[in-house]
Structure 1
């Protein structure tokens, strides 16, 4: 009876706000993280580790069942298989390979059997988070069996000397602040959190994180409200209609830029809301700043100020979806150093990221565009840095404001451009929209390597001695960066 009343209320509310029932269930689950966080602070904090593991496991399982019913069995099955793998051959290269193949394979198979032509909130939503979490766990056990001197600093910070207990893995996997939509965090952070390392140093009680947590929640609510309003005025499906087709090219591109901005606000809102719950529990503690103030950004997924003020694509990437990007950097990109070619490593990483998101062609189009966009930007910035006259001109007090506005508009418009595939997913939709704007972004970015080569051979041609000197300097910078990373 109570379940029927709840279902009816959720359906009614979803209709009023113009959202789907699964979306309201998911949003409700994120908000439930706050009362659960307060329960943890008041009744569970400081209890034995196993008690905390059981609390987090039960909360996560309940939230998963509330959203997806008996499909919760998929996450349980996945955890059982990976734990059995750790017990049998944990710490070996074979365990890493099998975990990567099984976790990603399970997820892709789930996408295949549940996918429609739109974005659906199904049990695959939390399962994609679990896929990375369990794969990272196997990697960390593998790193823990290696010589510490052979590990990079970031690998040392997460390496595990032993296989964790079953209860610890369950609590880690189902922590209500990270199970449904992320953020990603290593087991070593979770372990320190459970053992009380992030508690209040003065009182020995729960961390003094209520105000930072509620502040993050407030920002998340603001962003979800802005998204809801913006989505009403700039719907994505408008771009596949006849009215959009009748607009001028500049109007279409402007619409794409504004639409893309609002589309990303949905993700930003979700991340901030769930991060606030993590802050309340203390999981996100990240030491103190230079003034001794506690930092609660250990699981931050978006740097708001940097994201909103960014004038380059790299700044956008460096401020958005941070935990997933860092996971891919650590467990995929850096592990491909043996290939000896950073562009290949970058391409494989982006392909892995696309597969992890789903099987829709739009995901692959999105990440296929990211590769040339970022490389084009790096090439242009490199030439500006090499040319003192051009650099002074760009920074001239009279030129800089114009230059800044141009870069900002260019970045916002062409950030929305690849998102067409990411959000609208299907070939029929993104093909029609790109055709309406004459594939201008594809032509610009994919032709850039040829254009750049011709420019370097003509107007950007430099003396041989200068080229050799720059190459030596660039190599020194690369070597220094690699040494710092290691």
Structure 2
């Protein structure tokens, strides 16, 4: 890895906190977004767009150098190459193919060249965010080259008629509130922002978004502290320890469940902190609610309340890493409609999502398990619907809904945590050791036993039970 600027206090502080130096540099950089947002509000807000693009570019390049040294140049090179492609090929299909290939290959070569076992945060961290941002730009130019009646409402919102200038692309890519860890947002939103579309309706100056931003900051700090404390108690390495191996299988499953819940806190914390920066700058304005209050959720990457209330894996997924999931749905899943098979499109999307995260086998195992977890939930809904047991139990005063929610919550959290073991431990020789300790219970049930049981026994029973009802309804109609 590139030698970083000699700042001994960062290394000493990291040792004191029990954190890695690279992770601490990242956290300092996320917090640096707040004073930068204040500077932008006081000095650059309402200035010519090119002035703002230049401010964002220089500020984030400085942050990038603080984190990664001269390796931050990789992102700039990638932007310039994409700009040349778009200038040369415009909104053509060939431009999409080449831009997609360039961005993904640049990222994968970066993953291959970096030892991610010893460095938790490196130049590929912002590079993966940039990969999606630049690829979306190529798709949006392609949409802009088509007739409007050929586009969906979603595509019309982001379609671009003209290729951005290089300075516009660097400002968009290096906006300090989102270039390190996201969130994703469209080029149109960014340009609306720098052109003052989200200004205060009364003063014409920066929007009144300081308090909502500080609320996100406080929530993000809380989640970060929860993770930091929990990492001292149940670090990833504990799952590989003899102490874990000596536990009963039930205790091991409970520990995995709790570990996974706490491990996700670091992502939630980071996204809330960066969302606060975006809100303070004014980028996230999303209209007003029915009471006339401003909405600042235009770039929300985590719906914290929904995330904590979630009792199914699908609900967890919908509330977590929101903008990345929207990106995958918009630019991968929906673009694969021509395959004519929802499951193939979903699996291809999850495969790309794993590839985007890195080359370690644990990512692929994680997202493959996610596929089977969601399928199990959908299958169970079909199985339980005719029975009506859930509805009857839910009607029991006070206890019924609470018990159902708790059971579902425990299952969903364990299923996600079980998958996250491989996501967090990366390599097969590490995560397989943990799975062996619980006898591969998730793989055996979700991947082998349940699909066979559903296909051979339950699915035919559902079809059989629904036929008489359909026949009777048809006779009544006649």
Q: Shorter-chain TM-score: which interval?
A: over 0.9
The residue that corresponds to 2:220 in the other structure is 220
The residue that corresponds to 1:67 in the other structure is 67
The residue that corresponds to 1:481 in the other structure is none
Q: Deviations over 1:206-246 (max 9, x none)?
A: 11000000111111111100101111111111111222111
Q: Is the 8 A contact 1:117 1:426 kept in 2?
A: no
Q: Is the 8 A contact 1:223 1:268 kept in 2?
A: yes
State the distance in 1 between where 2:175 and 2:271 align: 15
State the distance in 1 between where 2:338 and 2:30 align: 41
Pair 1:141-2:141 in alignment: yes
Pair 1:452-2:466 in alignment: no
The residue that corresponds to 2:405 in the other structure is 404
Pair 1:171-2:171 in alignment: yes
Q: Which runs of 5+ in 1 are unaligned?
A: 471-486
State the distance in 2 between where 1:5 and 1:141 align: 39
State the distance in 2 between where 1:164 and 1:63 align: 24
The residue that corresponds to 2:465 in the other structure is 462
**1:436-451 counterparts in 2 under 5 A?**
436-446=437-447, 447-451=449-453
Larger CA deviation: 137-146 vs 389-398: 389-398
**1:47-446 counterparts in 2 under 5 A?**
47-117=47-117, 120-388=120-388, 390-397=390-397, 398-446=399-447
TM superposition shift of 1:462: 1.0
Q: Deviations over 1:366-410 (max 9, x none)?
A: 001000100110111233334445533344334332222111111
The residue that corresponds to 2:476 in the other structure is none
TM-score, normalisation: structure 1:
0.93
Q: Describe the SS at the equivalent of 1:462.
A: helix
Q: Judging changes above 3 Å, is the alpha-carbon distance between structure 1 residues 146 and 386 closer, same or farther for their aligned structure 2 residues? A: farther
State the distance in 2 between where 1:210 and 1:402 align: 40
State the distance in 2 between where 1:5 and 1:86 align: 35
TM superposition shift of 1:62: 1.0
**Aligned-residue CA RMSD (Å):** 1.8
Q: Is the 8 A contact 1:303 1:320 kept in 2?
A: yes
State the distance in 2 between where 1:40 and 1:117 align: 37
Q: Is the 8 A contact 1:455 1:461 kept in 2?
A: no
Q: Is the 8 A contact 1:220 1:270 kept in 2?
A: yes
Q: Describe the SS at the equivalent of 1:23.
A: helix
Q: Judging changes above 3 Å, is the alpha-carbon distance between structure 1 residues 221 and 81 closer, same or farther for their aligned structure 2 residues? A: same
Q: Judging changes above 3 Å, is the alpha-carbon distance between structure 1 residues 35 and 339 closer, same or farther for their aligned structure 2 residues? A: same
The residue that corresponds to 1:479 in the other structure is none
Q: Deviations over 1:301-359 (max 9, x none)?
A: 11111101111110000000001000000000000000000000000000000000000
Q: Judging changes above 3 Å, is the alpha-carbon distance between structure 1 residues 459 and 144 closer, same or farther for their aligned structure 2 residues? A: closer
State the distance in 2 between where 1:438 and 1:201 align: 61
Larger CA deviation: 396-405 vs 7-16: 396-405
Q: Describe the SS at the equivalent of 2:385.
A: helix
Q: Describe the SS at the equivalent of 2:363.
A: helix
Q: Describe the SS at the equivalent of 2:264.
A: helix
Q: Is the 8 A contact 2:5 2:69 kept in 1?
A: no
Q: Judging changes above 3 Å, is the alpha-carbon distance between structure 1 residues 146 and 25 closer, same or farther for their aligned structure 2 residues? A: same
State the distance in 2 between where 1:341 and 1:149 align: 25
Q: Is the 8 A contact 1:118 1:425 kept in 2?
A: no
State the distance in 2 between where 1:411 and 1:389 align: 20
Q: Is the 8 A contact 1:286 1:295 kept in 2?
A: yes
Q: Is the 8 A contact 2:22 2:119 kept in 1?
A: no
Q: Is the 8 A contact 2:172 2:190 kept in 1?
A: yes
Q: Judging changes above 3 Å, is the alpha-carbon distance between structure 1 residues 461 and 294 closer, same or farther for their aligned structure 2 residues? A: same
Q: Judging changes above 3 Å, is the alpha-carbon distance between structure 1 residues 324 and 122 closer, same or farther for their aligned structure 2 residues? A: same
Larger CA deviation: 236-245 vs 137-146: 236-245
TM-score, normalisation: structure 2:
0.95
TM superposition shift of 1:467: 6.2
State the distance in 1 between where 2:472 and 2:431 align: 45
State the distance in 1 between where 2:471 and 2:67 align: 60
Query: How many residues matched?
Result: 468
